[in-house]
């Protein structure tokens, strides 16, 4: 456990999966708020866990409608992806009577830059729709706070758990890969920023609501909890 307590902002991409409901409940039992970057199409087919997350004080963000490669979209296609998902998110907030405190967005695949002009056009769409980049004033890493990053309204991260690398829970390789994912939390990893052991620095952690990972997902969160992180929402 680090000597200096660290704040962590948990972000979870690609849901809602059929397992999101139990994951939301698991986080609630541990008092962990999360920012869920949801796909519009999955919100349409599986809205219940997203509603539960809202009721428990978590935040839903926009991750496009169908998880597109945004650098390949026209500006009009990008707008349509954003707006369609926003309409769904607004309707979900209305259903539970929870106000929308902030609009957050994350590019699928971190695919955010085609030409500089295209990047600027997409950013203009996000700005016009009221999306904001959380301040994350306690995240000190230079790569996180470059000029270019500050022009990008999508929510970047500092620590990728690599939960996406887990095979299905019943795959014979699963225990070894899970052990790697957990062991990595104890390393200092320059190529992937400095990691969970950098004293005092707040971390923006990314996980994925992928159905195939099953209960390994909870094991990854337990690994994060064992690092002594204090989970918070951006604000």
Q: Is the dihedral of CA 137, 5, 101, 208 positive or negative?
A: positive
Distance from C-alpha of 77 to C-alpha of 74, rounded to nearest angstrom? 5
Closest CA to 105 of 67, 76, 142, 77: 67
| Site stretch for Zn ion (CB under 5 A), options 19-27, 53-61, 101-109, 177-185 | 101-109
Q: Does 203 participate in binding Zn ion (rule CB under 5 A)?
A: no
Residue 14 is a binding residue for Zn ion (CB under 5 A): yes
Q: Which residues pair with 129 in a beta bridge?
A: none
What x-and-dash track marks residues 108-137 binding Zn ion by CB under 5 A? x-----------------------------
For residue 10, the surrounding DSSP H or E stretch is strand 7-13
Stretch that binds Zn ion, among 14-22, 93-101, 153-161, 173-181 (CB under 5 A): 14-22
Binding of Zn ion by 209 (CB under 5 A) = no
**Which is closer to Zn ion, CB of 6 or CB of 210?**
210
Q: Are 74 and 98 in contact (CB under 8 A)?
A: no
CA 211-215-217 angle, to 5 degrees, is 75
* Segment interacting with Zn ion, rule: CB under 5 A, options 10-18, 25-33, 54-62, 143-151: 10-18
In the complex with Zn ion, the residue whose CB is nearer, 61 or 108, is 108
- What does the binding site for Zn ion look like in residue numbers (CB under 5 A)? 13-14, 108
């Amino acid at each position: 456990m680090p000597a200096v307590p660290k704040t962590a902002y948990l972000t979870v991409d690609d849901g809602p999966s059929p397992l999101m409901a139990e994951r939301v409940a698991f986080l609630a039992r541990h008092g962990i708020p999360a920012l869920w970057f949801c796909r519009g199409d999955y919100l349409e087919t599986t809205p219940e866990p997203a509603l539960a997350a809202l009721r428990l004080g978590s935040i839903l963000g926009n991750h496009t409608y169908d998880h597109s490669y945004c650098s390949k979209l026209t500006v009009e296609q990008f707008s349509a992806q954003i707006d369609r998902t926003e309409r769904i998110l607004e309707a979900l907030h209305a259903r539970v009577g929870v106000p929308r405190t902030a609009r957050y967005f994350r590019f699928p695949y971190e695919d955010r830059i085609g030409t500089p002009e295209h990047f600027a056009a997409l950013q203009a769409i996000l700005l016009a729709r009221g999306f904001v980049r959380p301040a994350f004033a306690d995240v000190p890493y230079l790569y996180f706070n470059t000029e270019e990053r500050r022009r990008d309204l999508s929510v970047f991260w500092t620590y990728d758990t690599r939960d996406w690398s887990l095979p299905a829970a019943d795959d014979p390789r699963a225990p070894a890969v899970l052990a790697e994912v957990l062991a990595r939390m104890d390393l200092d990893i320059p190529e992937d920023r400095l990691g969970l052991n950098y004293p005092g620095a707040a971390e923006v952690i990314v996980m994925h609501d992928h159905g195939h990972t099953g209960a390994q997902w909870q094991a990854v969160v337990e690994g994060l909890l064992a690092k002594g992180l204090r989970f918070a929402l951006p604000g």
